[in-house]
Amino acid sequence: MHEYSIVASLVDRVEHEVRARGASVVHRLHVRVGELSGVEIDLLETAYETFSPTTVCAGATLEVERVAARWGCPRCRRELVAGEGLRCPDCGKPGRLSQGDEIVLQRIEMEVA
């Protein structure tokens, strides 16, 4: 279950930012998780609830936005529909993932004295 490793990276990143900005309390974290990122949101939330109380993130809410996978043709720019093959039906070019594989820390809301 690599979601614990992801939460460890998340906490490290927040700790770094808290130190750099002299923040006192972290209120909320905004994270974006792609459908094809290999991270399960339920497991990520469980890992966060388990791991965060002893860290700088104690008491901070984790807001996770799920990002759907989108495939497009790099030549025609048309969107490809998952489940109908990942090649462009017009030109035959292999599709390219335009979103949905990201695991991104977007924003931290924290108290700055």
Q: Where on the chain is the footprint of other proteins (CB under 8 A)?
A: 1-2, 5-6, 9-10, 12-13, 17, 21, 24-25, 27, 31, 36-39, 71, 83, 85-87, 94-97, 101-113
User: Is 6 or 57 the residue whose CB approaches other proteins more closely?
Assistant: 6
User: Is 50 or 106 the residue whose CB approaches other proteins more closely?
Assistant: 106
Residues 6+ apart with CB under 8 A from 4: 47, 50, 51
The H or E element that residue 31 is part of is strand 23-34
Rounded to an integer, what distance in angstroms lies between the CA atom of residue 77 and that of residue 40? 29
The H or E element that residue 2 is part of is none
CB of 4 to other proteins, least distance (A): 9
CB of 38 to other proteins, least distance (A): 4
Beta-ladder partners of 7: none
User: Is 53 or 97 the residue whose CB approaches other proteins more closely?
Assistant: 97
